[in-house]
Structure 1
Amino acid sequence: MHLVKPLLTLTAAALLAGAAQAQKIRVSDGSLDVLKDQKEINLEFTYDNMKVGKFDSEADYIKSRKADLDKKEPGRGDTWEKSWIADRKSRYEPKFDDLFTQVTDMKVAPGAKYTLIFHTNFTEPGFNVGVMKKSAYIDADFTVVETADRNKVVAKGTIDKAPGRTFWGSDFDTGERIGEAYEMAGKALGKKIK
Protein backbone atom coordinates (compact mmCIF):
# COMPACT_ATOMS: atom_id res chain seq x y z
CA MET A 1 0.00 0.00 0.00
CA HIS A 2 2.89 2.36 0.73
CA LEU A 3 4.23 1.78 -2.79
CA VAL A 4 0.93 2.49 -4.55
CA LYS A 5 0.61 6.12 -3.42
CA PRO A 6 4.09 7.19 -4.69
CA LEU A 7 3.45 5.42 -8.00
CA LEU A 8 0.12 7.18 -8.42
CA THR A 9 1.76 10.51 -7.59
CA LEU A 10 4.52 9.90 -10.15
CA THR A 11 1.99 8.89 -12.79
CA ALA A 12 -0.15 11.96 -12.14
CA ALA A 13 2.91 14.21 -12.28
CA ALA A 14 4.01 12.69 -15.59
CA LEU A 15 0.54 13.15 -17.09
CA LEU A 16 0.35 16.77 -15.93
CA ALA A 17 3.82 17.50 -17.29
CA GLY A 18 2.77 16.09 -20.66
CA ALA A 19 -0.43 18.11 -20.66
CA ALA A 20 1.51 21.28 -19.87
CA GLN A 21 3.37 21.07 -23.17
CA ALA A 22 1.86 23.54 -25.56
CA GLN A 23 2.48 23.70 -29.26
CA LYS A 24 3.46 27.09 -30.69
CA ILE A 25 3.30 28.17 -34.32
CA ARG A 26 5.13 31.26 -35.50
CA VAL A 27 5.24 32.74 -38.98
CA SER A 28 8.63 34.44 -39.18
CA ASP A 29 8.59 35.62 -42.78
CA GLY A 30 5.84 36.29 -45.31
CA SER A 31 2.22 35.28 -44.82
CA LEU A 32 0.08 32.15 -44.99
CA ASP A 33 -2.87 34.19 -46.32
CA VAL A 34 -2.24 33.10 -49.93
CA LEU A 35 -3.22 29.56 -48.94
CA LYS A 36 -6.66 30.42 -47.57
CA ASP A 37 -8.49 30.04 -50.88
CA GLN A 38 -6.37 27.26 -52.34
CA LYS A 39 -8.06 23.93 -53.07
CA GLU A 40 -4.78 22.00 -53.50
CA ILE A 41 -1.33 21.97 -51.95
CA ASN A 42 1.80 19.92 -52.46
CA LEU A 43 3.28 18.58 -49.22
CA GLU A 44 6.90 17.54 -48.73
CA PHE A 45 8.67 16.31 -45.60
CA THR A 46 12.37 16.49 -44.78
CA TYR A 47 14.38 15.20 -41.82
CA ASP A 48 17.94 16.36 -42.60
CA ASN A 49 20.14 17.25 -39.62
CA MET A 50 17.41 16.24 -37.18
CA LYS A 51 18.30 15.98 -33.51
CA VAL A 52 16.67 13.24 -31.43
CA GLY A 53 16.21 13.39 -27.67
CA LYS A 54 19.55 14.07 -25.98
CA PHE A 55 21.47 13.33 -29.18
CA ASP A 56 22.79 16.05 -31.49
CA SER A 57 22.25 13.83 -34.52
CA GLU A 58 19.74 11.21 -35.55
CA ALA A 59 22.64 8.92 -36.54
CA ASP A 60 23.97 8.97 -32.97
CA TYR A 61 20.50 8.23 -31.60
CA ILE A 62 20.03 5.31 -33.98
CA LYS A 63 23.45 3.89 -33.13
CA SER A 64 22.76 4.07 -29.38
CA ARG A 65 19.22 2.68 -29.60
CA LYS A 66 20.30 -0.19 -31.85
CA ALA A 67 23.09 -1.13 -29.43
CA ASP A 68 20.65 -1.14 -26.49
CA LEU A 69 18.16 -3.32 -28.34
CA ASP A 70 20.82 -5.71 -29.67
CA LYS A 71 22.06 -6.29 -26.10
CA LYS A 72 18.61 -7.58 -25.21
CA GLU A 73 18.12 -9.59 -28.40
CA PRO A 74 20.63 -9.80 -31.29
CA GLY A 75 19.16 -8.40 -34.53
CA ARG A 76 16.38 -6.48 -32.80
CA GLY A 77 18.21 -3.19 -33.41
CA ASP A 78 18.14 -3.65 -37.20
CA THR A 79 14.41 -4.36 -37.10
CA TRP A 80 13.84 -1.27 -34.98
CA GLU A 81 15.94 0.93 -37.31
CA LYS A 82 13.91 -0.14 -40.35
CA SER A 83 10.70 0.74 -38.51
CA TRP A 84 12.15 4.06 -37.31
CA ILE A 85 12.74 5.15 -40.93
CA ALA A 86 9.64 3.47 -42.44
CA ASP A 87 7.32 5.14 -39.92
CA ARG A 88 7.87 8.46 -41.68
CA LYS A 89 6.05 7.39 -44.83
CA SER A 90 3.68 4.88 -43.25
CA ARG A 91 2.63 6.80 -40.11
CA TYR A 92 3.90 10.34 -39.59
CA GLU A 93 3.33 11.91 -42.98
CA PRO A 94 -0.13 10.33 -43.49
CA LYS A 95 -1.24 11.51 -40.04
CA PHE A 96 -0.06 15.06 -40.77
CA ASP A 97 -1.71 14.97 -44.22
CA ASP A 98 -4.99 13.65 -42.85
CA LEU A 99 -5.68 16.36 -40.27
CA PHE A 100 -4.06 19.15 -42.29
CA THR A 101 -6.31 18.44 -45.28
CA GLN A 102 -9.41 17.97 -43.08
CA VAL A 103 -8.93 21.35 -41.44
CA THR A 104 -7.98 23.28 -44.59
CA ASP A 105 -10.29 21.44 -47.05
CA MET A 106 -7.30 21.20 -49.42
CA LYS A 107 -6.30 18.14 -51.39
CA VAL A 108 -2.68 17.04 -51.64
CA ALA A 109 -1.56 17.37 -55.26
CA PRO A 110 2.03 17.45 -56.57
CA GLY A 111 1.02 19.97 -59.28
CA ALA A 112 -0.55 22.46 -56.84
CA LYS A 113 0.41 26.13 -57.10
CA TYR A 114 2.11 26.05 -53.67
CA THR A 115 4.31 23.52 -51.88
CA LEU A 116 4.53 23.27 -48.10
CA ILE A 117 7.90 21.87 -47.04
CA PHE A 118 7.73 20.53 -43.48
CA HIS A 119 11.19 20.00 -42.01
CA THR A 120 11.44 18.15 -38.69
CA ASN A 121 14.51 19.43 -36.90
CA PHE A 122 13.96 17.81 -33.48
CA THR A 123 12.14 14.72 -32.24
CA GLU A 124 11.63 13.78 -28.62
CA PRO A 125 10.53 10.12 -28.80
CA GLY A 126 9.26 10.05 -25.22
CA PHE A 127 8.48 6.80 -23.44
CA ASN A 128 5.69 4.89 -21.73
CA VAL A 129 6.64 2.18 -19.26
CA GLY A 130 3.23 1.86 -17.66
CA VAL A 131 3.77 3.65 -14.35
CA MET A 132 5.74 6.50 -15.91
CA LYS A 133 5.62 8.19 -19.27
CA LYS A 134 7.06 11.11 -21.16
CA SER A 135 5.15 12.47 -24.12
CA ALA A 136 6.80 12.67 -27.49
CA TYR A 137 6.98 15.95 -29.37
CA ILE A 138 8.49 17.43 -32.49
CA ASP A 139 9.89 20.81 -33.47
CA ALA A 140 9.78 21.74 -37.14
CA ASP A 141 10.32 24.50 -39.65
CA PHE A 142 7.90 25.02 -42.51
CA THR A 143 8.39 26.85 -45.76
CA VAL A 144 5.73 27.63 -48.35
CA VAL A 145 7.09 28.10 -51.86
CA GLU A 146 5.66 28.42 -55.33
CA THR A 147 5.84 24.93 -56.79
CA ALA A 148 6.90 26.16 -60.23
CA ASP A 149 9.68 28.37 -58.83
CA ARG A 150 10.94 27.24 -55.44
CA ASN A 151 13.03 30.38 -55.10
CA LYS A 152 9.77 32.29 -54.56
CA VAL A 153 9.21 31.82 -50.84
CA VAL A 154 5.72 32.81 -49.69
CA ALA A 155 6.10 32.12 -45.96
CA LYS A 156 8.43 30.63 -43.40
CA GLY A 157 7.77 29.63 -39.83
CA THR A 158 8.26 27.23 -36.97
CA ILE A 159 6.22 24.77 -34.98
CA ASP A 160 7.54 24.14 -31.48
CA LYS A 161 6.57 21.25 -29.23
CA ALA A 162 3.84 19.59 -31.28
CA PRO A 163 2.71 17.04 -28.65
CA GLY A 164 2.59 13.31 -29.26
CA ARG A 165 0.54 11.54 -26.64
CA THR A 166 -2.59 9.50 -26.24
CA PHE A 167 -4.81 9.71 -23.21
CA TRP A 168 -5.70 6.04 -22.84
CA GLY A 169 -2.20 4.72 -22.24
CA SER A 170 -1.98 2.93 -25.59
CA ASP A 171 1.16 4.78 -26.67
CA PHE A 172 3.77 2.20 -25.66
CA ASP A 173 4.99 2.22 -29.25
CA THR A 174 7.38 5.05 -30.17
CA GLY A 175 5.88 5.35 -33.65
CA GLU A 176 2.41 5.80 -32.17
CA ARG A 177 3.55 8.66 -29.93
CA ILE A 178 5.53 10.44 -32.64
CA GLY A 179 2.70 9.91 -35.14
CA GLU A 180 0.39 11.79 -32.79
CA ALA A 181 2.84 14.71 -32.80
CA TYR A 182 2.63 14.92 -36.60
CA GLU A 183 -1.14 14.70 -36.43
CA MET A 184 -1.29 17.59 -33.95
CA ALA A 185 1.18 19.64 -36.03
CA GLY A 186 -0.93 19.12 -39.15
CA LYS A 187 -4.10 20.12 -37.34
CA ALA A 188 -2.56 23.22 -35.75
CA LEU A 189 -0.93 24.42 -38.96
CA GLY A 190 -4.17 23.83 -40.83
CA LYS A 191 -6.03 25.97 -38.30
CA LYS A 192 -3.40 28.71 -38.61
CA ILE A 193 -3.95 28.77 -42.37
CA LYS A 194 -7.74 28.80 -42.02
Structure 2
Amino acid sequence: MKKLVLSVLFVSSMMTAQRMDVVKGNFDFLKDQKEINVQFDYSELTLMKENKSEATYVEERTNELNEKHKNVGDIWAKKWEASKELSWNPKFLELVNVVLSKKDVDVSFQEGLTAAPYTLIVKSVWIYPGWDVMMMKQPAKVTTLLTFVETGNPTNVLAEITSKDAPGDQWGNNFSNETRIGEGYAKTGKSLAQRLLKSVYR
Protein backbone atom coordinates (compact mmCIF):
# COMPACT_ATOMS: atom_id res chain seq x y z
CA MET A 1 0.00 0.00 0.00
CA LYS A 2 2.83 2.37 0.88
CA LYS A 3 4.47 1.73 -2.50
CA LEU A 4 1.17 2.44 -4.25
CA VAL A 5 0.77 5.77 -2.46
CA LEU A 6 4.32 6.77 -3.32
CA SER A 7 3.73 5.85 -6.95
CA VAL A 8 0.58 7.98 -7.08
CA LEU A 9 2.46 10.92 -5.54
CA PHE A 10 5.29 10.55 -8.05
CA VAL A 11 2.98 10.30 -11.06
CA SER A 12 0.80 13.22 -9.98
CA SER A 13 3.84 15.44 -9.41
CA MET A 14 5.33 14.55 -12.82
CA MET A 15 2.22 14.98 -14.98
CA THR A 16 3.20 18.48 -16.04
CA ALA A 17 6.04 19.04 -18.50
CA GLN A 18 7.10 22.46 -19.66
CA ARG A 19 7.60 23.18 -23.35
CA MET A 20 9.59 26.23 -24.45
CA ASP A 21 9.82 27.03 -28.16
CA VAL A 22 11.40 29.90 -30.07
CA VAL A 23 8.73 30.97 -32.55
CA LYS A 24 10.41 34.09 -33.95
CA GLY A 25 13.86 35.65 -34.31
CA ASN A 26 17.12 34.90 -32.51
CA PHE A 27 19.08 36.25 -29.56
CA ASP A 28 22.17 37.75 -31.18
CA PHE A 29 21.20 41.23 -30.00
CA LEU A 30 21.69 40.15 -26.36
CA LYS A 31 25.37 39.25 -26.62
CA ASP A 32 26.86 42.56 -25.47
CA GLN A 33 24.01 43.76 -23.27
CA LYS A 34 24.44 44.30 -19.52
CA GLU A 35 20.85 45.25 -18.69
CA ILE A 36 17.50 44.04 -20.02
CA ASN A 37 14.30 45.82 -19.08
CA VAL A 38 11.39 43.54 -18.09
CA GLN A 39 7.65 44.21 -18.22
CA PHE A 40 4.93 41.88 -16.97
CA ASP A 41 1.57 41.79 -18.74
CA TYR A 42 -1.51 40.11 -17.21
CA SER A 43 -4.05 41.94 -19.37
CA GLU A 44 -5.26 38.88 -21.33
CA LEU A 45 -4.72 36.17 -18.73
CA THR A 46 -7.12 33.21 -18.70
CA LEU A 47 -7.39 30.46 -16.10
CA MET A 48 -8.51 26.90 -15.60
CA LYS A 49 -9.47 24.36 -18.26
CA GLU A 50 -12.46 26.53 -19.16
CA ASN A 51 -10.18 29.47 -20.09
CA LYS A 52 -12.01 31.84 -17.77
CA SER A 53 -11.02 35.48 -17.82
CA GLU A 54 -9.10 36.59 -14.74
CA ALA A 55 -12.02 38.81 -13.70
CA THR A 56 -14.44 35.87 -13.87
CA TYR A 57 -12.09 33.53 -12.00
CA VAL A 58 -11.45 36.04 -9.20
CA GLU A 59 -15.16 36.84 -8.83
CA GLU A 60 -16.18 33.18 -8.67
CA ARG A 61 -13.40 32.23 -6.28
CA THR A 62 -14.12 35.22 -4.06
CA ASN A 63 -17.81 34.32 -3.83
CA GLU A 64 -17.02 30.67 -3.18
CA LEU A 65 -14.73 31.48 -0.26
CA ASN A 66 -17.08 34.12 1.16
CA GLU A 67 -19.89 31.56 1.24
CA LYS A 68 -17.75 29.29 3.40
CA HIS A 69 -16.42 32.00 5.73
CA LYS A 70 -17.44 35.65 5.78
CA ASN A 71 -14.87 38.04 4.19
CA VAL A 72 -12.35 35.25 3.52
CA GLY A 73 -12.94 35.59 -0.21
CA ASP A 74 -12.39 39.34 -0.13
CA ILE A 75 -9.10 38.81 1.69
CA TRP A 76 -8.08 36.16 -0.84
CA ALA A 77 -8.82 38.52 -3.76
CA LYS A 78 -6.40 41.06 -2.30
CA LYS A 79 -3.76 38.35 -1.83
CA TRP A 80 -4.27 37.19 -5.42
CA GLU A 81 -3.62 40.63 -6.85
CA ALA A 82 -0.67 41.28 -4.52
CA SER A 83 0.93 37.97 -5.49
CA LYS A 84 1.86 39.36 -8.90
CA GLU A 85 4.12 42.07 -7.51
CA LEU A 86 5.22 40.28 -4.33
CA SER A 87 5.78 36.75 -5.62
CA TRP A 88 5.24 35.88 -9.26
CA ASN A 89 7.24 38.69 -10.92
CA PRO A 90 10.10 38.56 -8.37
CA LYS A 91 10.41 34.79 -8.64
CA PHE A 92 10.75 34.98 -12.42
CA LEU A 93 13.40 37.71 -12.15
CA GLU A 94 15.25 35.97 -9.34
CA LEU A 95 15.62 32.69 -11.19
CA VAL A 96 16.60 34.11 -14.56
CA ASN A 97 19.30 36.22 -12.89
CA VAL A 98 20.56 33.52 -10.51
CA VAL A 99 20.95 30.91 -13.25
CA LEU A 100 22.87 33.34 -15.48
CA SER A 101 25.07 34.68 -12.68
CA LYS A 102 26.08 31.16 -11.66
CA LYS A 103 27.58 30.84 -15.14
CA ASP A 104 29.34 34.22 -14.73
CA VAL A 105 27.11 35.93 -17.27
CA ASP A 106 27.21 39.68 -16.58
CA VAL A 107 23.66 40.69 -17.45
CA SER A 108 20.73 41.82 -15.31
CA PHE A 109 17.02 41.35 -16.06
CA GLN A 110 15.01 43.87 -14.02
CA GLU A 111 11.88 45.95 -14.11
CA GLY A 112 12.18 49.69 -14.58
CA LEU A 113 15.36 49.69 -16.69
CA THR A 114 13.77 52.04 -19.20
CA ALA A 115 17.16 53.23 -20.49
CA ALA A 116 18.09 49.70 -21.56
CA PRO A 117 17.96 49.20 -25.36
CA TYR A 118 15.86 46.04 -25.12
CA THR A 119 12.82 44.97 -23.15
CA LEU A 120 11.49 41.50 -22.34
CA ILE A 121 7.71 41.41 -22.11
CA VAL A 122 6.48 38.49 -20.01
CA LYS A 123 2.86 38.07 -21.04
CA SER A 124 0.84 35.68 -18.89
CA VAL A 125 -1.40 33.66 -21.20
CA TRP A 126 -2.89 30.88 -19.06
CA ILE A 127 -2.69 29.62 -15.48
CA TYR A 128 -3.92 26.46 -13.82
CA PRO A 129 -3.50 26.82 -10.03
CA GLY A 130 -3.20 23.10 -9.30
CA TRP A 131 -4.22 21.61 -5.97
CA ASP A 132 -2.84 19.85 -2.91
CA VAL A 133 -5.01 17.54 -0.82
CA MET A 134 -2.84 15.77 1.73
CA MET A 135 -1.56 12.63 -0.04
CA MET A 136 -2.23 13.78 -3.60
CA LYS A 137 -1.37 16.91 -5.51
CA GLN A 138 -1.40 18.52 -8.95
CA PRO A 139 1.25 21.15 -9.75
CA ALA A 140 0.27 24.56 -11.02
CA LYS A 141 0.80 25.26 -14.72
CA VAL A 142 1.89 28.62 -16.10
CA THR A 143 1.86 29.45 -19.81
CA THR A 144 3.53 32.66 -20.98
CA LEU A 145 4.62 34.45 -24.12
CA LEU A 146 8.14 35.90 -23.79
CA THR A 147 8.77 38.69 -26.27
CA PHE A 148 11.98 40.68 -26.73
CA VAL A 149 11.42 44.12 -28.26
CA GLU A 150 13.26 47.38 -28.72
CA THR A 151 12.49 49.51 -25.66
CA GLY A 152 12.07 52.66 -27.74
CA ASN A 153 10.10 50.88 -30.46
CA PRO A 154 8.13 48.01 -28.88
CA THR A 155 6.44 47.13 -32.18
CA ASN A 156 9.82 45.84 -33.37
CA VAL A 157 9.83 42.26 -32.11
CA LEU A 158 13.33 40.75 -32.10
CA ALA A 159 12.57 37.34 -30.64
CA GLU A 160 9.57 35.50 -29.26
CA ILE A 161 9.32 32.38 -27.12
CA THR A 162 6.28 30.40 -26.05
CA SER A 163 6.58 28.77 -22.64
CA LYS A 164 3.79 26.26 -22.08
CA ASP A 165 2.75 24.57 -18.81
CA ALA A 166 5.71 25.55 -16.65
CA PRO A 167 5.14 23.42 -13.52
CA GLY A 168 4.76 25.03 -10.13
CA ASP A 169 5.28 22.89 -7.06
CA GLN A 170 7.50 22.38 -4.02
CA TRP A 171 8.63 19.43 -1.94
CA GLY A 172 6.14 18.52 0.75
CA ASN A 173 2.68 20.00 0.99
CA ASN A 174 1.81 23.38 -0.43
CA PHE A 175 -1.80 24.36 0.08
CA SER A 176 -1.49 27.88 -1.37
CA ASN A 177 -2.54 28.25 -5.00
CA GLU A 178 -0.67 31.54 -5.24
CA THR A 179 2.58 30.01 -3.98
CA ARG A 180 2.36 27.12 -6.43
CA ILE A 181 1.76 29.58 -9.27
CA GLY A 182 4.81 31.55 -8.13
CA GLU A 183 6.91 28.42 -8.52
CA GLY A 184 5.63 28.18 -12.10
CA TYR A 185 7.00 31.65 -12.78
CA ALA A 186 10.27 30.66 -11.14
CA LYS A 187 10.47 27.64 -13.45
CA THR A 188 9.78 29.89 -16.44
CA GLY A 189 12.63 32.21 -15.49
CA LYS A 190 14.98 29.30 -14.95
CA SER A 191 14.10 27.71 -18.29
CA LEU A 192 14.54 31.00 -20.13
CA ALA A 193 18.00 31.47 -18.61
CA GLN A 194 18.99 27.94 -19.59
CA ARG A 195 17.81 28.57 -23.16
CA LEU A 196 19.86 31.80 -23.32
CA LEU A 197 22.93 30.00 -21.98
CA LYS A 198 22.71 27.61 -24.91
CA SER A 199 21.84 30.21 -27.53
CA VAL A 200 23.76 33.34 -26.50
CA TYR A 201 26.17 32.90 -23.62
CA ARG A 202 28.00 29.75 -24.73
Name the counterpart of 1:127. 131
| Residues 1:86 and 2:92 are matched in the alignment | no
Partner Cα separation in structure 1 for residue 73 and residue 6 of structure 2: 29
User: Normalization by structure 2: what TM-score?
Assistant: 0.86
**Aligned-partner residue type, residue 183 of structure 1:** A
User: Normalization by structure 1: what TM-score?
Assistant: 0.90
Count, aligned residues: 188
Counterparts of residues 91-106 of structure 1 (less than 5 Å): 91-104=87-100, 105=105, 106=107
Query: Identity over the aligned pairs, expressed in percent?
Result: 34
The verdict on how the C-alpha distance between 1:62 and 1:15 changes in structure 2, with shifts beyond 3 A counting, is farther
| Residues 1:159 and 2:163 are matched in the alignment | yes
| Residues 1:53 and 2:48 are matched in the alignment | yes
How far has the Cα of 1:71 moved from its partner? 1.1
Counterparts of residues 68-87 of structure 1 (less than 5 Å): 68-87=64-83
**Aligned-partner residue type, residue 190 of structure 1:** A
How far has the Cα of 1:35 moved from its partner? 1.7
SS of equivalent to 1:180: helix
How far has the Cα of 1:150 moved from its partner? 1.2
Given candidates 109, 116, 141, the residue that maps to 1:137 is: 141
SS of equivalent to 2:153: coil
How far has the Cα of 1:8 moved from its partner? 6.9
**Aligned-partner residue type, residue 153 of structure 2:** D
Q: Which runs of 5+ in 2 are unaligned?
A: 198-202
How far has the Cα of 1:14 moved from its partner? 4.3
Q: Which runs of 5+ in 1 are unaligned?
A: none
Counterparts of residues 37-52 of structure 1 (less than 5 Å): 37-52=32-47
The verdict on how the C-alpha distance between 1:66 and 1:154 changes in structure 2, with shifts beyond 3 A counting, is same
The verdict on how the C-alpha distance between 1:8 and 1:110 changes in structure 2, with shifts beyond 3 A counting, is farther
| Contact 2:12–2:137 (CA under 8 A) maintained in structure 1 | no
SS of equivalent to 2:155: coil
Name the counterpart of 1:18. 13
How far has the Cα of 1:157 moved from its partner? 1.8
